[in-house]
């Protein structure tokens, strides 16, 4: 048996164990192995990524699920991999080029993409290596990449089939344009932020009148008036009904357009008349379609006004906004402008304000896909945990717009479509078209188009591989709720469409990791915690366990460094409990529970508690309730096993009464605890388990040991009740000792009158040891005597003879001194709080602290006075 160091040192244990597991092949799964299939695919981190606490939580949870599944006997696999992360990655490399004063256009497309690949090879995937330090038991032989060969083939196949089915189409639609990255974006890549703007009221003159007459409109985006092609009013609006059909004249451009009526217009807002810019506003676009209005794109890719803007051509959109306002004013058309807060869409990548723009793009028609996904959720084919997230998920699926999938980028899956240069004809094909006049579409696909295929392409789809048959559909998808829309819903839709199966049976949503006060972690707040720093400082087990302890299902996870520190102490506690056991086991192995007659009360008690906790912890794991599982084990190990059982068992181990049974029970409990704890704290449990069982390592590992089955017969309510009586007796005695300043080393006799007299009588030795008594005498009734003190018990009373135990005079003197100082404290604080300028001007928390001090001092005084009175009675100086 190995000698364990006095304190647990994670750094000395973790890296070697990971390497040992890996070389023994314990992470690798074989589809031909026995056991029910259990599979998880990692949400592929971006190649640009490095491990942050969100990843740490997400992957710890997956590792917990996989490790437990293995121990339960499933044929479990966890697939690693990465996402090529189109925009994000392209931006990183473009930034590197910018540092050299270059753009991607200087390199050209081919060279640029090569450059991204080079970068991917050298620095991509750091995050997967970081996951190893966290202990993640991923099957490294199955690593996949969304942009590698097999995945490319699958993406092309999916695109072509969807196109053939009429579910992918190309067309001019209003899309979100990112004027910085020069690409279209999907709706969910746009974040709405509140912005302070201006609502500008101005007048469009009638075509047949002068500038003093006309129709007043209001807008937050004056520059878009260059693309106006109508003015809309509500059909029932009495103020304007008679104007419908009239024509207005553009003040700066040689153009006239009509006043139209449309229900969309809210008569209450602004002037009740809306300028319509179909090419630059989603609502106006719809109105434009309904009324067959011309759609005039007034901006170029940089959101700069083009020649259609007449004298405003060449101005950026914000400069144009100011210039037009001024021009309106000069023309006498500006009525007024007022401050106006409103929501403006921003690119989630470049943060630039998105420009709604009419553009030729590729779209996925999502209706038919969404229908099946909705049905799968409603029918329970896929279960969302927590259930309440299902509503938002369904709402989103039920209100989908078609998905713009083309991106004007270079890094990503090239769209398998070819355009004829002369005819403009389009052909979509899995094979390159190598004929004269045909050129491939320059655009690439939205990065989520490929990642939506992840759960089946990692197993080799469209090939009918053994892996695919064995592990698809996957068991559980673990993600934060923040990407349910981006990713999860799309996997569900496309999975159902192409594999006729849900891609996962359960969607488990954890919360987002926040700082200790529940605030979002962000670099600008300076509250970011790096999980790798935590691992360095406290170990991977502590980091994992701390995250799990606060990861209540679906709610955000507050993380403070102190908690991780506290968890490290728990690991150390476990370590030392094992150290005690190991140094006393004398070769005893875990095995069958000894015959009942050989067991002492504390044995039956701890076995009963173990069984209770095992079942609670198991239920916690089953319900994805990590805090319950973690707390259950923490409490059991520390407060029951270490604090009570280990102390109790010393009587027999250091003596010679049924010590064999004691050793056996010690080994059994530890063995089960280590197994139950292993998915959450894999390293320390493995190290200790090897020491306990003598396991050689390699394939002889806790990682693949059997999950505890439980022994229902071990539940022993009588033992628990009886032991609680002893615990109460010991606790009350300790309390008495502490309150009377009796040194812990001072032993004394206890006389007990209890309705559990026989029990206490039989357990005298145990009680004496735990409460550090010289003896326990059980009597029928306590007789009040001078010089004794009584302790109240849940089951009766105990009596202590104070003669010689306490130096009454000295104790009185000590207490009186304490009382004096407590009174002085109180006076000081009370004086401070009586000072009105302090109470009014000092910060609230400082005042609150003073109030606390005041309350504390008062409580202390009351208690001291009581004890002094009691001692005075004993001394004969008080009044009884």
Positions in 184-223 near RNA (CB under 7 A): 187-188, 191-192, 218-221
Q: Which one of 129, 336, 391, 785 is in contact with RNA (CB under 7 A)?
A: 391
Say how far apart CA 612 and CA 621 lie, in whole Å.
14
Residue closer to RNA by CB (options 136, 477) is 477
Say how far apart CA 116 and CA 122 lie, in whole Å.
10
**Kind of pairing between the strands at 144-145 and 775-778:** unpaired
Residue closer to RNA by CB (options 627, 697) is 627
- Beginning with the edge strand found earlier in the chain, give each strand of the sheet holding 168-178 in spatial order: 183-185, 168-178, 355-364, 403-404
Min separation Cβ 352 and RNA, Å: 17
CA-closest candidate to residue 534, choices 5, 2, 11: 11
- 793 Cβ neighbours under 8 A, 6+ residues apart: 728, 729, 732, 752, 754
- Binding segment for RNA among 26-34, 240-248, 271-279, 675-683 (CB under 7 A)? 271-279
- Binding segment for RNA among 28-36, 296-304, 731-739, 756-764 (CB under 7 A)? 731-739
Q: Which parts of 227-266 interact with RNA (CB under 7 A)?
A: 264-266
Q: Which one of 15, 73, 150, 282 is in contact with RNA (CB under 7 A)?
A: 282
Answer yes or no whether residue 271 interacts with RNA by CB under 7 A. Answer: yes
Say how far apart CA 571 and CA 541 lie, in whole Å.
8
Q: Which parts of 337-356 interact with RNA (CB under 7 A)?
A: 342-343
Min separation Cβ 702 and RNA, Å: 20
Contact 192, 345 (CB under 8 A): yes
Neighbouring C-beta atoms of residue 370, cutoff 10 Å? 21
Min separation Cβ 616 and RNA, Å: 10
- Binding segment for RNA among 120-128, 734-742, 785-793, 802-810 (CB under 7 A)? 734-742
Min separation Cβ 563 and RNA, Å: 6
**Kind of pairing between the strands at 214-219 and 183-185:** unpaired
Residue 561, Cα to own-chain centre: how many angstroms?
16
**Kind of pairing between the strands at 426-428 and 417-420:** antiparallel
Min separation Cβ 279 and RNA, Å: 13
* Phi, psi torsion values for 233, nearest 5 degrees: -130, 165
> Between the CA atoms of 772, 778, 779 and 783, what dihedral angle is there, to the nearest 10 degrees?
0
Q: Which parts of 769-788 interact with RNA (CB under 7 A)?
A: 772
- Per the structure block, which two tokens stand in for 191? 């974040």
Min separation Cβ 112 and RNA, Å: 31
Min separation Cβ 409 and RNA, Å: 22
Min separation Cβ 486 and RNA, Å: 8
Min separation Cβ 376 and RNA, Å: 20
CA-closest candidate to residue 543, choices 499, 513, 507: 513
Q: Which parts of 470-509 interact with RNA (CB under 7 A)?
A: 482, 485
Answer yes or no whether residue 820 interacts with RNA by CB under 7 A. Answer: no
Residue closer to RNA by CB (options 111, 569) is 569
Say how far apart CA 677 and CA 629 lie, in whole Å.
9
Answer yes or no whether residue 743 interacts with RNA by CB under 7 A. Answer: yes
Min separation Cβ 347 and RNA, Å: 14
Q: Which parts of 637-696 interact with RNA (CB under 7 A)?
A: 638-639, 642-643, 646-647, 650, 654
Min separation Cβ 221 and RNA, Å: 6
Residue closer to RNA by CB (options 221, 690) is 221
Answer yes or no whether residue 336 interacts with RNA by CB under 7 A. Answer: no
Contact 72, 36 (CB under 8 A): no
- Binding segment for RNA among 447-455, 492-500, 709-717, 738-746 (CB under 7 A)? 738-746
Decide: residue 422, CB within 10 A, 0-12 exposed, 13-18 middle, 19+ buried.
exposed
- Beginning with the edge strand found earlier in the chain, give each strand of the sheet holding 383-385 in spatial order: 383-385, 504-510, 474-480
Q: Which parts of 23-62 interact with RNA (CB under 7 A)?
A: none
Site string for RNA, 753-772 (x = CB under 7 A): -------------------x
Say how far apart CA 57 and CA 769 lie, in whole Å.
44
Distance set, CA 549 to CA 151, 397, 625 (Å)? 37, 33, 9
Say how far apart CA 442 and CA 113 lie, in whole Å.
13
CA-atom Rg of the chain in angstroms? 37
Answer yes or no whether residue 2 interacts with RNA by CB under 7 A. Answer: no
Beta strands in 10-89 (DSSP E): 37-41, 75-79, 81-82
Min separation Cβ 243 and RNA, Å: 14
Q: Which one of 154, 185, 253, 274 is in contact with RNA (CB under 7 A)?
A: 274
- Per the structure block, which two tokens stand in for 778? 């059980």
Q: Which one of 528, 552, 695, 870 is in contact with RNA (CB under 7 A)?
A: 552
Beta strands in 226-311 (DSSP E): 230-233, 247-249, 256-261, 273-276
Residue closer to RNA by CB (options 77, 648) is 648
Answer yes or no whether residue 275 interacts with RNA by CB under 7 A. Answer: yes
Residue closer to RNA by CB (options 22, 823) is 823
Total residues contacting RNA by CB under 7 A comes to 91
Min separation Cβ 732 and RNA, Å: 8
Say how far apart CA 237 and CA 593 lie, in whole Å.
87
Q: Which parts of 833-872 interact with RNA (CB under 7 A)?
A: 848, 852, 855-856, 859, 863
Say how far apart CA 417 and CA 361 lie, in whole Å.
12
Q: Which parts of 559-588 interact with RNA (CB under 7 A)?
A: 560, 562-563, 566, 568-569, 571-573, 576-577, 579-580, 583-584
Q: Which one of 133, 286, 465, 789 is in contact with RNA (CB under 7 A)?
A: 286
Answer yes or no whether residue 525 interacts with RNA by CB under 7 A. Answer: no
- Binding segment for RNA among 448-456, 636-644, 715-723, 870-878 (CB under 7 A)? 636-644
- HEC sequence for 113-152: HHHHHHHHHHHCCHHHHHHHHCCCCCCHHHCEECCCHHHH
Residue closer to RNA by CB (options 20, 537) is 537
- 76 Cβ neighbours under 8 A, 6+ residues apart: 29, 35, 37, 38, 39, 66, 69, 70
Say how far apart CA 236 and CA 262 lie, in whole Å.
9
Min separation Cβ 234 and RNA, Å: 8
Q: Which one of 517, 783, 804, 836 is in contact with RNA (CB under 7 A)?
A: 517
> Between the CA atoms of 626, 628, 630 and 636, what dihedral angle is there, to the nearest 10 degrees?
-160
Min separation Cβ 764 and RNA, Å: 17
Q: Which parts of 294-333 interact with RNA (CB under 7 A)?
A: none
- Binding segment for RNA among 38-46, 282-290, 437-445, 523-531 (CB under 7 A)? 282-290
Answer yes or no whether residue 8 interacts with RNA by CB under 7 A. Answer: yes
Min separation Cβ 558 and RNA, Å: 4
Length of the chain: 880
Min separation Cβ 278 and RNA, Å: 12
- Binding segment for RNA among 78-86, 386-394, 453-461, 586-594 (CB under 7 A)? 386-394
Answer yes or no whether residue 395 interacts with RNA by CB under 7 A. Answer: yes
Alpha helices, DSSP H, located in 292-330: 317-330
Say how far apart CA 465 and CA 175 lie, in whole Å.
39
Residue closer to RNA by CB (options 121, 622) is 622
Say how far apart CA 565 and CA 206 lie, in whole Å.
74
Min separation Cβ 562 and RNA, Å: 4
* Phi, psi torsion values for 177, nearest 5 degrees: -105, 130
Q: Which one of 96, 555, 792, 877 is in contact with RNA (CB under 7 A)?
A: 555
Residue 43, Cα to own-chain centre: how many angstroms?
13
Q: Which one of 150, 267, 316, 462 is in contact with RNA (CB under 7 A)?
A: 267
Contact 749, 797 (CB under 8 A): no
């Amino acid at each position: 048996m190995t000698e364990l160091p006095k304190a647990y040192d994670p750094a000395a244990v973790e890296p070697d164990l990971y390497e040992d597991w890996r070389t023994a092949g314990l992470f690798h799964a074989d589809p031909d192995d026995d056991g029910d299939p259990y599979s998880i695919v990692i949400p592929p981190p971006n190649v640009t990524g490095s491990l942050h606490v969100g990843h740490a939580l997400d992957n710890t949870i997956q590792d917990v699920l996989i490790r437990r599944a293995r121990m339960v006997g499933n044929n479990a696999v966890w697939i690693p991999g990465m996402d090529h992360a189109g925009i994000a990655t392209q931006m990183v490399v473009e930034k590197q080029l910018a540092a050299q004063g270059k753009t991607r256009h200087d390199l050209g497309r081919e060279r640029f993409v090569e450059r991204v690949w080079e970068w991917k090879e050298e620095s991509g995937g750091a995050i997967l290596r970081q996951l190893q330090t966290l202990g993640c038991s991923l099957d490294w032989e199955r690593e996949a990449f969304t942009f590698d060969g097999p995945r490319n083939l699958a993406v092309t196949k999916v695109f072509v089939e969807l196109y053939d089915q009429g579910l992918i189409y190309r067309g001019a639609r209003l899309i979100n344009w990112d004027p910085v990255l020069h690409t279209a974006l999907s709706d969910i890549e746009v974040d709405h932020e509140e912005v302070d703007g201006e609502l500008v009221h101005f007048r469009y003159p009638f075509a047949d009148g002068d500038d003093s007459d006309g129709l007043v409109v209001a807008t937050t985006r004056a520059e878009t008036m260059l693309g106006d092609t109508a003015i809309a009013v509500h059909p029932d609006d009495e103020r304007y009904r008679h104007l419908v059909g009239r024509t207005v004249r553009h003040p700066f451009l040689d153009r006239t357009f009509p006043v139209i009526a449309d229900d969309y217009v809210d008569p209450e807002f602004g002037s009740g008349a809306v300028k319509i810019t179909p090419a630059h506003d989603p609502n106006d676009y719809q109105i434009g379609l309904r009324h067959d209005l011309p759609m005039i794109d007034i901006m170029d890719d940089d959101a700069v006004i083009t020649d259609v803007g007449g004298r405003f051509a060449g101005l950026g959109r914000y400069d144009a906004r100011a210039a037009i306002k001024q021009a309106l004013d000069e023309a006498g058309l500006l009525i007024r402008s007022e401050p106006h807060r409103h929501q403006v869409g921003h690119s989630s990548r470049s943060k630039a304000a998105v420009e709604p723009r009419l553009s030729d793009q590729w779209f996925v028609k999502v209706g038919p896909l969404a229908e099946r996904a909705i049905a799968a959720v409603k029918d329970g084919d896929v279960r969302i945990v927590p259930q309440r997230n299902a509503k938002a998920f369904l709402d989103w699926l039920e209100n989908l717009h078609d998905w713009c999938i083309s991106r004007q980028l270079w890094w990503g899956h090239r769209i398998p479509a070819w355009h004829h240069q002369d005819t403009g004809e389009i052909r979509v094909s899995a094979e390159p078209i190598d004929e004269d006049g045909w050129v491939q579409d320059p655009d690439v696909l939205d990065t989520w188009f490929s990642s939506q295929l992840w759960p089946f392409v990692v197993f080799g789809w469209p090939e009918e591989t053994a892996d695919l048959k064995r592990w698809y559909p996957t068991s559980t998808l673990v993600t934060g709720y923040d990407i349910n829309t981006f990713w999860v819903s799309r996997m569900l839709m496309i999975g159902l469409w192409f594999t006729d199966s849900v891609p996962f049976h359960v969607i488990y949503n954890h919360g987002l990791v926040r700082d200790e006060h529940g605030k979002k972690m962000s670099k600008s707040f300076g509250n970011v915690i790096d999980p790798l720093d935590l691992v360095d400082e406290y170990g991977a087990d502590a980091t994992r366990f701390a995250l799990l302890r606060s990861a209540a299902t679906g709610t955000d996870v507050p993380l403070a460094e102190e908690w991780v520190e506290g968890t490290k102490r728990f690991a150390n506690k476990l370590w030392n409990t094992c150290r005690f056991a190991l140094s006393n086991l004398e070769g005893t192995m875990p095995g069958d529970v000894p015959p009942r007659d050989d067991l002492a009360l504390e044995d039956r008690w701890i076995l009963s508690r173990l069984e209770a906790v095992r079942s609670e912890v198991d239920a916690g794991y089953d319900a994805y309730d990590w805090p319950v599982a973690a707390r259950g084990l923490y409490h059991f190990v520390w407060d029951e096993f270490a604090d009570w059982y280990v102390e109790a068992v010393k009587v027999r181990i250091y003596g010679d009464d049924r010590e064999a049974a004691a050793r056996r029970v010690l080994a059994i409990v530890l063995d089960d605890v280590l197994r139950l704890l292993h998915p959450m704290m894999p390293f320390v449990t493995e190290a200790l388990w090897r020491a306990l069982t003598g396991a050689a390592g390699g394939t002889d590992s806790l990682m693949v040991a059997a999950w505890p089955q439980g022994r229902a017969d071990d539940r022993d309510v009588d033992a628990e009740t009886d032991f609680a009586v002893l615990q109460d007796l010991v606790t009350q005695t300790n309390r008495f000792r502490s309150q009377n300043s009796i040194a812990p080393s001072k032993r004394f006799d206890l006389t007990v009158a209890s309705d559990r007299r026989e029990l206490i009588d039989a357990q005298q030795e145990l009680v004496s040891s735990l409460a550090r008594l010289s003896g326990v005498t059980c009597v029928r009734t306590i007789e009040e005597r001078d010089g004794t003190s009584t302790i109240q018990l849940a089951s009766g009373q105990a009596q202590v003879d104070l003669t010689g135990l306490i130096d009454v005079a000295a104790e009185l003197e000590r207490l009186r001194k304490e009382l004096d100082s407590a009174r002085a404290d109180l006076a000081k604080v009370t004086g401070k709080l009586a000072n009105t300028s302090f109470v009014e001007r000092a910060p609230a928390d400082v005042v609150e602290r003073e109030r606390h001090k005041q309350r504390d001092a008062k409580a202390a005084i009351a208690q001291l006075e009581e004890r002094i009175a009691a001692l005075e009675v004993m001394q004969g100086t008080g009044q009884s």
